[in-house]
C-alpha cells in the first residue's frame, strides 16, 4: 500500500487504504511493554530518545530502556541530551549523543530500531526517516509508538478543557493513514499496527477477550486506545 494515488481525496481510495490498515492491525494479549519487547529479544537494538529527560528514570525498574537492555543481544541508546548520556554511560549503559534528524551515521546497523513516543516531537521527518534507513539492517524492523489523537484521554481533555494536545512539545499526530503516506514517501513499508490489550501481568485481558469475541469491540478499542504502535521495514 505504497503507491501514489492520483486523487487523494477520492473516498473509494481512502476506503481501500482503510481496508489495508485493518488487514495489518493486530490485538495483542500482552501488556504494552511486553508487546513491544517481543520484537527485540536477542536482537541488536538502537533505542532512540531513550533518556526521557530525567536521570531519575534510570533508577526505576520499569524504565523501558532498562527492559530492552535486559533482553536484547546489544542495545545502544541515542539521545540529544549530552549530560544525561554522559551520566548513563558512567552507570554502565552504552549510549551516544546524536541528532536523529541529521545525516549522522553511528557506524553500524541494527536489527531493531525503537522510537518510543519521539516522532511526534520531531520537526524534520525527512531527516528522521533517512536516519532510520541508514541504521536499519536489510531484514530489520523499526518499532514506533506515538499517541493517538482519538484516545479517551485526549478526547476527554478536549471536551472538558478544549485542549487538543497532550504535550506542549508535540508538533504533530501520526495516524495510520499518515504513517502509510510517510512510508510511501521515504520508501518504507508499514508491516503491522499493534494494539496491546492487557493492562498488566496476570489474568487474560478483558479487552483482548472482548476483541476476540465481538468484532465491533475491536473498532471501539482501536478508536479509543491511547497510542498507535507501528512496525516498519525498508521496502
- The alpha carbon of 113 is separated from its chain's Cα centroid by a whole number of angstroms, namely 10
* 3-49 per-position pLDDT tens digit: 667 788 889 888 999 899 989 998 888 888 999 999 999 999 999 99
d(CA 122, CA 101): 8
> Over 90: is that where the pLDDT of 184 sits?
yes
Q: Answer yes or no: pTM beyond 0.85.
A: yes
Structural domain boundaries of the chain?
Answer: 25-234
pLDDT of the residue at 152: 75
The 3-state secondary structure of 6-22 reads: CCCCCHHHHHHHHHHHH
Q: Tens of pLDDT along 158-171?
A: 888 888 777 888 88
Pairing of strands 25-31, 188-198: parallel
pLDDT digits (tens, 9 = 90+) for 146-159: 988 877 777 788 88
CATH number of the 25-234 domain: 3.40.50.150
Amino acid at each position: 500500500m505504497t503507491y501514489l494515488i492520483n486523487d487523494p481525496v477520492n473516498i473509494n481510495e481512502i476506503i481501500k487504504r482503510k481496508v489495508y490498515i485493518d488487514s495489518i492491525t493486530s490485538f495483542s494479549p500482552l501488556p504494552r511493554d511486553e508487546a513491544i519487547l517481543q520484537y527485540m529479544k536477542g536482537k541488536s537494538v538502537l533505542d532512540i530518545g531513550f533518556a526521557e529527560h530525567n536521570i531519575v528514570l534510570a533508577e526505576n525498574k520499569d524504565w523501558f530502556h532498562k527492559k530492552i537492555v535486559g533482553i536484547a543481544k546489544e542495545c545502544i541508546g541515542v539521545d540529544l541530551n549530552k549530560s544525561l548520556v554522559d551520566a548513563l554511560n558512567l552507570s554502565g549503559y552504552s549510549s551516544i549523543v546524536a541528532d536523529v534528524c541529521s545525516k549522522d551515521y553511528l557506524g553500524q546497523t541494527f536489527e531493531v530500531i525503537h522510537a518510543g513516543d519521539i516522532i511526534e516531537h520531531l520537526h524534520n521527518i525527512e531527516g528522521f526517516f533517512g536516519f532510520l534507513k541508514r541504521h536499519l539492517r536489510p531484514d530489520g524492523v523499526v518499532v514506533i509508538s506515538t499517541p493517538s489523537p482519538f484516545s479517551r484521554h485526549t478526547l476527554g481533555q478536549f471536551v472538558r478543557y478544549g485542549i487538543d494536545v497532550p504535550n506542549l512539545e508535540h508538533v504533530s499526530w501520526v495516524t495510520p493513514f499518515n504513517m502509510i503516506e510517510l512510508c510511501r514517501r521515504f520508501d518504507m513499508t508499514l508491516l503491522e499496527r499493534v494494539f496491546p490489550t492487557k493492562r498488566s501481568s496476570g489474568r487474560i485481558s478483558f479487552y483482548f477477550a472482548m476483541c476476540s469475541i465481538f468484532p465491533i469491540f475491536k473498532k471501539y478499542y482501536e478508536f479509543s486506545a491511547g497510542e498507535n504502535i507501528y512496525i516498519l521495514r525498508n521496502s
